[in-house]
């Protein structure tokens, strides 16, 4: 039991951070709490014997995604709506639904016979690299094409010129109605 | 540390993400909740990878992380475009197709 204590502390911290992500009124705070959750997840990967994944998680998520999210929050915020409600009016049904889903999943997990394994063996990074470049080579190449497509898509969506041409009729229509 | 405890943790994380996705009307807050859910799935993949003793789960976890990055890039581009159109990013205001 005592060797499992760090795991339970870590799990409690992750869940606490996740609750703060969805409960924060301020979006910047929510993004920073998400960063906490993602860093703690990297620690969890280390405990699970996946050091390479922990590094990937830190580099890509906390380095890339959190920064992008902060930019997104700050670009889409105006000063006079700092206190605007970010929730919709269906908080109680949402809470009930997700709690019901959790109860269903948890009861299924508790009833299933799962083996107990004590100490995870770290997987050497060489194995992962070999698996990616042999068994999963096609998926890996498709993934690189997908990343390229996402990059081009983001550039096309973010271009200012297209915006100036396209939505003007929309705004006029809004004004007439 | 057991498989059961890890699965309970990740299902809790996933359900918190679902609650956030359903209860927010701000598009960026919904993206954050999606991140939580994908994070839970990644932990699950690593858990089963260790449990089955292979490397497959970790490879899939790496793919999941890369796909998440692509999703965030396109999602944020759409959110910023929505903001330029409507001057707000509440998802229930983007209902032009209904009118």
Q: Which residue of chain B has the CA closest to A26?
A: B29
Contacts of A12 in chain B (CB under 8 A): none
> Residue A39: what pLDDT?
94
- Predicted local confidence at residue A176, as pLDDT: 46
Q: Which of B16, B39, B89 sits opposite A19 (nearest CB)?
A: B16
pLDDT, averaged per 10 consecutive residues of chain A (177 residues), comes to 79 94 88 94 90 90 88 76 64 90 92 74 85 91 93 84 53 48
- Searching chain B, which residue's CA lies closest to the CA of residue A12? B9
Q: Where are the domains of chain B?
A: 3-91
Rounded Cα–Cα distance for residues A72 and A139 (Å): 30
Q: pLDDT tens digits, residue range B34-92? A: 999 999 999 999 988 887 777 888 899 999 999 998 999 999 988 888 888 777 777 77
CB under 8 A, 24+ apart: contacts of A59-62:
A60/B65, A60/B66, A60/B68, A60/B69, A61/A35, A61/B65, A61/B68, A62/A35, A62/A38
> A1-78+104-121: which CATH architecture?
Up-down Bundle (1.20)
* pTM of the full structure: 0.85
Q: How far is B92 from chain A (nearest CA, A)?
A: 9
What integer pLDDT is reported at residue B85 of this predicted model?
79
Kindly report the CATH class assigned to B3-91. mainly alpha
CATH 1.20.120.1200, chain A: domain bounds: 1-78+104-121
ipTM of this complex prediction, to 2 decimal places: 0.90
pLDDT of residue A177: 43
Q: Report pLDDT for A90.
A: 79
Give pLDDT, residue A85.
Answer: 63
A12 touches chain B (CB under 8 A): no
């Amino acid at each position: 039991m005592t060797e499992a204590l760090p795991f339970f502390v870590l799990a409690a911290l992750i869940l606490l951070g996740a609750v703060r992500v969805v409960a924060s009124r301020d979006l910047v705070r929510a993004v920073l709490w998400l960063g906490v959750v993602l860093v703690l997840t990297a620690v969890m990967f280390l405990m699970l014997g996946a050091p390479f994944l922990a590094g990937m998680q830190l580099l890509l998520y906390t380095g890339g995604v959190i920064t992008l999210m902060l930019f997104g929050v700050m670009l889409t915020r105006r000063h006079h709506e700092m206190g605007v409600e970010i929730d919709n009016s269906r908080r109680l049904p949402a809470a009930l639904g997700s709690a019901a889903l959790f109860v269903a999943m948890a009861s299924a997990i508790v009833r299933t016979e799962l083996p107990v394994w004590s100490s995870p063996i770290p997987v050497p990074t060489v194995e992962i690299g070999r698996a990616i470049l042999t068994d999963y080579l096609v998926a890996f190449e498709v993934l690189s094409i997908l990343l390229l497509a996402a990059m081009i898509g983001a550039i096309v969506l973010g271009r200012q010129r297209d915006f100036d041409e396209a939505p003007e009729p929309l705004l006029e229509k809004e004004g007439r109605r | 540390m057991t498989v059961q405890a890890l699965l309970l943790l990740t299902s809790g994380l996933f359900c918190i993400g679902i609650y956030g996705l359903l209860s927010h009307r701000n598009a960026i807050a919904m993206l954050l909740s999606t991140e939580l859910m994908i994070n839970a799935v990644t932990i699950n993949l690593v858990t089963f990878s260790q449990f089955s003793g292979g490397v497959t789960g970790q490879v899939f976890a790496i793919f999941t992380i890369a796909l998440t990055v692509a999703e965030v890039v396109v999602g944020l581009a759409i959110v910023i475009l929505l903001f330029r159109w409507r001057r707000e990013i509440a998802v229930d205001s983007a209902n032009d197709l209904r009118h």
